[in-house]
A and B are shown apart, each in its own frame.
Chain A
Amino acid sequence: GDSVTQMEGPVTLSEEAFLTINCTYTATGYPSLFWYVQYPGEGLQLLLKATKADDKGSNKGFEATYRKETTSFHLEKGSVQVSDSAVYFCALSNRNNAGNMLTFGGGTRLMVKP
């Protein structure tokens, strides 16, 4: 079945540092790929998405490129802020599965220190 693997956290960075959170996936067909963010005590918020190979999703300074050849969708940000501290989830949605079912990775906690 489909699966998503993320780098384990926590990832601890100083403010203005460069961020990379690795994500790789296994899926049949041509999945859509997503990054969701979860702030403490809250549900998931869609951060960005990409629906086909070589697409780049971007939002709030974060970006990720759909790499089919390496089955990866790594999240990057050039300069993190304390307010970026949260748990980040990589996910895929595969049209071969039911509707918009999402398969999530285990999440990566990011802590940004002033």
Chain B
Amino acid sequence: ETGVTQSPTHLIKTRGQQVTLRCSSQSGHNTVSWYQQALGQGPQFIFQYYREEENGRGNFPPRFSGLQFPNYSSELNVNALELDDSALYLCASSLAGTGVAFFGQGTRLTVV
């Protein structure tokens, strides 16, 4: 079975720009969650999607948005980038009800 894959692995954006990060779920998983991990800190929950619907959201502003597609892959979009958005963005997939999440390697976003 394939694991969780994220793209791109690294990118640099300018303040005020928009960015889209992508995630392919592990085979058979129907739930995708996104986390932001600032340098030296633990991951913070952004939101979760289940069957293409948002199923919970952390303390992040509306400029953080997402999508989940019928094949359970997902996108994270961030508008009006700020310097503090610089972080490692992690995608995690799981099968609803199992309580176990599997993480991708992350996308390192640098906002300059």
Contact = CB atoms under 8 A, between A and B. Distances in A.
Q: Chain A contact residues (Cβ within 8 angstroms of B): what range?
A: 20 to 34
Contacts of B101: 46, 100, 102
A36 B100 CA distance: 11
Q: Chain B contact residues (Cβ within 8 angstroms of A): what range?
A: 20 to 34
Interface stretch (B37-45, B65-73, B74-82): B37-45
Interface in A6-27: none
A106 to B, nearest CB: 5
9 contacts: A43-B4, A49-B100, A97-B56, A98-B48, A99-B94, A100-B96, A102-B35, A104-B42, A107-B41
Interface of A: 4, 32, 36, 41-46, 49, 51, 89, 91, 93, 97-107
Interface of B: 4, 6, 31, 33, 35, 40-45, 48, 50, 55-58, 90, 92, 94, 96, 98-106
